[in-house]
Amino acid sequence: MGKRSLRLLNREYAAKILFIISASAAIIAVGLICVFLFLQGLPAMWDMGIIRFLTGTDWRPTWDPPRFGILPMIVGSLYVTAGAILFGVPIGIFAAVFMAKFCPRPIYVILKPAINLLAGIPSVVYGYFGMVVLVPFVRENFGGNGNSIFTASILLGMMILPTIITISENAIRAIPPEIYEGAIALGASHERATFKVVLPAAKSGVMASVILGIGRAVGETMAVRMVAGNQAILRMPHEFLSGARTLTANVVIELGYAYGEHRAALIATGVVLFVFVMIINALFSILKKKESA
Amino acid sequence: MEITNKFLINDVNLWYSDFQALNNINMDIPEHMITAFIGPSGCGKSTLIKSLNRMNDLVEGCKITGSILLDGENIYGDIDVNALRKRVGMVFQKPNPFPMSIYDNIAYGPRTHGIKSKFVLNEIVEKSLQDAAIWDETKDRLKKSALSLSGGQQQRLCIARALSVQPDVLLMDEPTSALDPISTGKIEELVLQLKKDYTIVIVTHNMQQATRISDNTGFFLLGELIEYGETQQIFSIPQDKRCEDYITGRFG
Ligand SMILES: Nc1ncnc2c1ncn2[C@@H]1O[C@H](COP(=O)(O)OP(=O)(O)OP(=O)(O)O)[C@@H](O)[C@H]1O
Ligand SMILES: [Mg+2]
């Protein structure tokens, strides 16, 4: 073997090691989070009684004895996430179709970076926007004090838009033009070919974008906390103009001063959140697998 | 039998931006016959066939002059393009079934043109699949994805899909080039069957195919129609040297 090829081999070897280290760093990070969360959270959950913890409707850390039931927060998270889907998914999908199939070039070159920018805005800025614009808007037009499930849903719906638009647009663009042309050649209009053939053909990608959006909505903390009212009270669906607290808000609001059992209950809240996110990711990878099959 | 012309192509020039792809084409395409377009790659066969149902409208920067009359009406005049494409169906080089069920593939066209009755749709689906000689292979799996069919079956499905809107004309751009000899044979047989009811224009690179199925053949070169006439004539005593060279396999 020549000197040159030996050097090449060495370089390849070095690159390989670098890749392995980088990949392991990510895995180790996930692993550490998992271990830490479950080690600290699960025993506490066990002590409190998992069922009681999950289905308890009272969150009273200051009572004696304290009560740690996180059902209001689980339900709160479900409400704002469902609301975000209600607002964000239809708008996001229509926007994606528009971007991929209807948007004139000059508008596209403005819209595309704008959507990318939307994705990069820090959530505290969204929260601020929610506080100064959405909260008064909801208060004046729908009633209540404005800090509500409804307000948080709208805000979250906005926040998941870039995820849904970008991924759905890519999915729509990935459909071979022959499919579209086949529909056009049958005498279908551009609209009909797009909505009845191309969009259904892209459905697994569109679903994936929705699931990623849901993941973002479930995990969102700061913005939600700033507009949701944060009452740890179990709400019924018709109370959508009242405030509610999400799992994420529960942790971030109280973790700063909590200790002992209270602190453990908050970490257990994190465990529940983590499980939620894992379920969502599992759904996502199942869809991905279906797509490639 | 008197021959009526389905298409009259008059002085057609076509440009893709600055590039002229068709050069003064004049051609009559007779009804209920099979017309084949042959010629070396890039000579404009696909371009011309796509002009017949205005699929070239989808190409940005495509410009056409001259006229193409379908049953006496200029399809580049003030007409409903979707209605034109309903009358002039198309089968593509690569089978392009929609990623949905076999049934929905066929029902899409009629639904597009306003047919809602389940009963009528069922009939159309069955008839189209039968006419495309694929009913027996699909009748027990209509709800299955069209992508589960073989390439040859997919192409026959695409033919059935084209037939579902009851066109007058069937344009086929190298419909068998992606298929094995057996599937190709089936499709050729089918095309001969369909001739009774449809005017067929077919692009092919396969000289045997052109002689086996077509009544008339046009030979193209660099965007020009070099020679056009009865297939037998063209293949036995070609008038043009370049045409002779091409069909005898000396170039192309
Ligand atoms: N969308 C397009 N934009 C620009 N030029 C094009 C386009 N489509 C075709 N052309 C050009 O027009 C000419 C004719 O193309 P066409 O596809 O009609 O050829 P063809 O005879 O069908 O060839 P083949 O046998 O390879 O299918 C070619 O030179 C091609 O490069
Ligand atoms: Mg071609």
CATH number of the domain where residue A173 is located: 1.10.3720.10
- The answer to whether residues A93 and A43 belong to one domain is no
3-state SS string for B181-222: HHHHHHHHHHHHHHCCCCEEEEECCCHHHHHHHCCEEEEEEC
Residue A53 lies in a domain: no
Are A97 and A28 in a shared domain? no
Whether A21 and A156 map to the same domain: the answer is no
- Measured in degrees and rounded to the nearest 5, phi and psi for residue B66 equal 95, -165
| A232: in domain | yes
For the record, the structure tokens of A31 come out as 């692993």
Q: Is the CB of B47 under 6 A from ligand 1?
A: yes
Residues A87, A169 share a domain: yes
Predicted local distance difference test score (pLDDT) of residue B1? 57
Determine contact: A196 vs chain B, CB below 8 A.
Answer: yes
Same domain, A118 and A25: no
Q: State pLDDT tens for residues B129-141.
A: 999 989 999 999 9
pLDDT of B3: 77
Candidate from B97, B100, B109 with C-beta closest to A186: B109
Question: A255-274: buried (b, 16+ CB within 10 Å) or exposed (e) per residue?
Answer: eeebeeebbbbbbbbbbbbb
What per-residue string of b and e applies to A66-91 under the rule 16 or more CB within 10 Å gives b?
eebbbbbbbbbbbbbbebbbebbbeb
| A151 in Cβ contact with A226 (< 8 Å) | no
Residues A113 and A158 in one domain: yes
Ion ligand 2: residues, CB < 5 A: B 46
C-alpha to C-alpha distance for B238 and B207, rounded to whole angstroms = 13
Q: What is the mean pLDDT of the segment spanning A226-255?
A: 92
Ligand 1 centre and the CA of B98: distance in Å? 25
Domain assignment of residue A59, yes or no: no
Give the tens place of pLDDT for each residue, B49-90: 999 999 999 999 999 999 999 999 999 999 999 999 999 999
- CA atoms of A281 and A70, how far apart (whole Å): 22
Give a yes or no: residue A62 inside a domain: no
Range of the structural domain that residue A42 is part of: 3-48
C-beta of residue B83 within 8 angstroms of C-beta of residue B164: no
Give the pLDDT confidence score for residue A288 in this predicted structure: 77
Pairing state of beta strands B62-70 and B224-230? unpaired
Q: Which atom of ligand 1 is nearest to the CA of B223?
A: 14
In this model, does residue B219 exceed pLDDT 70?
yes
Quick check: CB of B81 below 6 Å from ligand 1?
no
Q: Averaged over A160-181, what is the pLDDT? A: 96
What pLDDT does A109 receive?
Answer: 96
Is A61 part of a structural domain of the chain? Answer: no
Domain count, chain A: 2
pLDDT for residue A2 is more than 70: no
Residue of B12, B13, B43, B220 to test ligand 1 pocket, by largest number of atoms within 8 Å of CB = B43
> Distance, in angstroms, between A157 CA and closest chain B CA?
30
pLDDT at position B126? 96
Res. A18: pLDDT tops 80? yes
Tell whether ligand 1 has an atom less than 6 A from the beta carbon of residue B21: yes
Q: Using alpha carbons, list the distances in angstroms from residue B215 to A20, B183, B209, B242.
A: 65, 22, 11, 21
Both A220 and A248 in a single domain? yes
Atom of ligand 1 nearest to the CA of B40: 25
CB–CB of B94/B62 below 8 Å?
Answer: no
Same domain for A224 and A127 = yes
pTM of the predicted model as reported, rounded to 2 decimal places: 0.88
Q: Is there a domain that residue A17 lies in?
A: yes
Report pLDDT digits (tens) over B96-127: 999 999 999 999 999 999 999 999 999 999 99
Per CB-CB distance under 8 Å, the chain B contacts of A176 are 96
What domains does chain B contain, in order, with CATH numbers?
Answer: 5-247 (3.40.50.300)
Contact check, Cβ <8 Å, B58/A184:
yes
- Do residues A10 and A81 both lie within one domain? no
Q: Residue A78 corresponds to which tokens in the numbers above?
A: 């479900």
B88, β-bridge pairs: B169
* Percent of all residues in chain B with a pLDDT value above 90, rounded to a whole number: 83
Q: What are A120-156's pLDDT values in tens digits?
A: 999 999 999 999 999 999 999 998 899 999 999 999 9
Looking at the fold, whether A122 and A167 belong to one and the same domain comes out as yes
Q: Please give the Cα distance from B64 to A24 (Å, whole number).
A: 59
The number of the ligand 1 atom at minimal distance from the alpha carbon of B61 is 3
B94 pLDDT band (50/70/90 cuts)? very high
The answer to whether residue A42 is domain-embedded is: yes
In a domain, A219, yes or no: yes
- pLDDT confidence of B241, banded at 50, 70, 90? confident
Question: Looking at the structure, do residues A41 and A74 belong to the same domain, yes or no?
Answer: no
Question: In this complex, do A179 and B96 lie within 8 Å of one another by their Cβ atoms?
Answer: yes
> What confidence tens digit (pLDDT) does each residue in B41-59 have?
999 999 999 999 999 999 9
Instruction: Verify that A222 and A88 share a domain, yes or no.
Output: yes
